[in-house]
Amino acid sequence: MRVVSGIQTTGRLHLGNYLGAIKQWVAMQDQVAEAGGESMYFMADLHALTDRVAPKELADNTIEMTATVLAAGLDPEKSIIWNQARVPAHSELTWLLNNVARVGWLNRMTQFKDKAGKDREGASVGLYDYPVLMAADILLYKATHVPVGEDQKQHLELTRDIATKFNSDYGVEVFPLPEPMISVAAPRIMSLRDATAKMSKSNPSDMTRVNLNDSDDEIAQKFRKAKSDAESLPDTVEGLEERPEARNLVTIYAALADIAPAEVLAQYGGQGFGQFKPALADLAVAKLGPIRDRLVRLLDDRGEVIRVLERGSERARAIAGPVLREAQDAMGLQL
C-alpha cells in the first residue's frame, strides 16, 4: 500500500483548506503506517504555475503550505513530504504520458473547462496538461491509494485510463491502477459572511474566513459574528436545506469535532445561534489554537521547513528514479 496525494500551493492558509484535505492526510498517516503502508504527500508547486503567480509569492506559498501540513500534524518521520519541482521525474514522466493520453480525453476534463472559461484559446498549455502532470505525480510512485476531494475524481479516472493504456500499448505491467479515496469527510467550507461562496483567501473581507494563523480572539470573534439566521437549529439534517448559513456552521462544527452533522443537531437542535455560535467559537479555538501556535513557530524558523522538503525530495527521488527508468525502458528510451 502506497498512499500519494498532493496539494496545490496556491497559498490558502485557512480553515477550508485544513478541513478539506490536510486533516484527512493527518488522520490517515497512522492507519497507513499500521497497515505497513507508506504515506507520501507533496506540495504541487508545478501545478500552482497554472494559476499564474508572482515568483516570490509562489516560493512563500510553498513554504507556508508545508508549514501548515506540519503544524496540522503530518510527521516527516512517518510520511515523505516534498515539493514537486525538486523531483524532476514528475516533469519527465509527464512528457512520456503526454504521448499516451489522448486530446479527446483531456477535452472532457471539467476542471479545465471551468478554469479556462470562455477564453479557451488564451488558456495556457500547462492548464490543459494539468491532469497529465497529476497522473504522473501518482504513477511515478506506483501509488495504490490516492486521497482526493470529490472534485478530483475525474482526474483520478483519467490517471487510471492513462495507466491502462500505457501498460497495454507497451505490453508491460509498469503502473498499478490507483484507487481513489474520496473522503466524504472533506466538506466544502463556505464563507462566514455569504454561505453561497466558498471560503477563500482572495475575499477582500477577512471576516469571511478563519485563517490558520488567526489569534484565539480573532477566531472567536469571527464565529460570533458569522452570518446566521433567526431560527433555531433544526433537529435533523434535512432541516438545513435552504439554510446555507446554518448548514455551513453545523458542517464546520461537525468537521472540527470529528462527528457527523446529525450528531451536532442531536445536541444543539432547538437551540438558537446565541448558544450555538459561542460553542462553535470555543471548539474552534480549542482545535485550531495548537495548530496556530505550531504554524507561527514554523513560519519563524523557515529553515526547519526547508530542511523537511529537502530531505523529503531526496527520498522521493530515490523512489521515482527507478520507476521513471522502467517507463523509459518500456518505451524504447534505454540508451
CA end-to-end span of the chain, whole Å? 32
Binding mask 284-303 for ligand TRP (x = CB under 6 A): --------------------
How are beta strands 79-83 and 38-44 bridged, if at all?
Answer: parallel
- Extended beta strands in the chain, E state: 2-8, 38-44, 79-83, 145-148, 179-182
Instruction: Select the span of 1-9, 98-106, 271-279, 327-335 touching ligand TRP (CB under 6 A).
Output: 1-9
Exactly one of 74, 146, 252, 309 binds ligand TRP (CB under 6 A); that residue is 146
Tell me which residues in 94-113 interact with ligand TRP (CB under 6 A): none
Q: Which amino acid is at 65?
A: M
The rounded distance, in Å, linking the Cα atoms of 12 and 168 is 40
Calculate the alpha carbon distances from 185 to 22, 34, 150 in Å.
11, 21, 10
Judged by beta carbon, residue 147 or residue 234, the one nearer ligand TRP is 147
Q: Helix, strand, or coil here: 198?
A: strand
**139 is an interface residue for ligand TRP by CB under 6 A:** no
Residue 154 CB: number of other CB atoms within 10 A?
16
Q: Which amino acid is at 16?
A: G
Cell 496540522: give the residue: 72
Q: Helix, strand, or coil here: 171?
A: coil
The rounded distance, in Å, linking the Cα atoms of 41 and 211 is 22
The rounded distance, in Å, linking the Cα atoms of 83 and 315 is 11
Q: b vs e for 179-199, b when ≥16 Cβ sit within 10 Å of the residue's Cβ?
A: ebeebeebbebbbbbbbeebb
Judged by beta carbon, residue 47 or residue 287, the one nearer ligand TRP is 47
Exactly one of 19, 44, 87, 288 binds ligand TRP (CB under 6 A); that residue is 44
The CB-nearest residue to ligand TRP is 6
Instruction: Select the span of 59-67, 117-125, 146-154, 220-228 touching ligand TRP (CB under 6 A).
Output: 146-154
Exactly one of 138, 189, 190, 308 binds ligand TRP (CB under 6 A); that residue is 138
**47 is an interface residue for ligand TRP by CB under 6 A:** yes
**6 is an interface residue for ligand TRP by CB under 6 A:** yes
Judged by beta carbon, residue 145 or residue 222, the one nearer ligand TRP is 145
**68 is an interface residue for ligand TRP by CB under 6 A:** no
Point out the residues that are catalytic: 115, 198, 201
Exactly one of 2, 8, 22, 76 binds ligand TRP (CB under 6 A); that residue is 8
Instruction: Select the span of 2-10, 93-101, 198-206, 292-300 touching ligand TRP (CB under 6 A).
Output: 2-10
**Contacts to ligand TRP by CB under 6 A:** 4-8, 44, 47, 134, 137-138, 146, 148-149, 152
